[in-house]
Amino acid sequence: MTLEKAFAAIIDQLREQLKTELLEELRAELGAAPDRTLTFSEACEYLHMSDYTLRQLIRQKRIPHRVYGYEGSKNPRYLFSQRRLDQWIWEQEERNYRREVSSG
């Protein structure tokens, strides 16, 4: 009976460990990680791009961002969602590597 209890305890421990690992993988895949708001300089660093390039993308409305401040303000404050930036990067990569299918 002691051997059976030992096996049962090991199985329960492995089950809990597997459950924890699966939940972590699911959260990563579903983007359940908490979102983080980045400032302009943090976004530049996160995206590995210059201030100039990021400002150009903002002006062209090609990157997801939020603006705080009055319209036409000389000093608008740009904020970015890290999750949306990750999604934007993924979309850019997909667009860059899309294969053309020839019909013929």
What are the pLDDT digits (tens) for 8-62? 999 999 999 998 888 888 777 766 557 899 999 999 999 999 999 999 999 999 9
Task: Show Cβ contacts of residue 46 under 8 Å, excluding neighbours closer than 6 positions.
Answer: 38, 80, 82, 85
Confidence of residue 101 (pLDDT cuts 50, 70, 90): low
**Residue whose entry in the numeric block shows the structure tokens 């400032």:** 39
Q: What distance in Å separates the CA atoms of residue 26 and residue 44, rounded to the nearest whole number?
A: 29
Angstrom CA distances, 51 to 9, 12, 14, 100, stand at 56, 53, 49, 33
Query: pLDDT at position 26, please?
Result: 78
Domain boundaries, the chain: 37-96
Query: pLDDT at position 84, please?
Result: 94
Model pTM score? 0.61
Query: pLDDT at position 81, please?
Result: 95
Give the length of the chain: 104
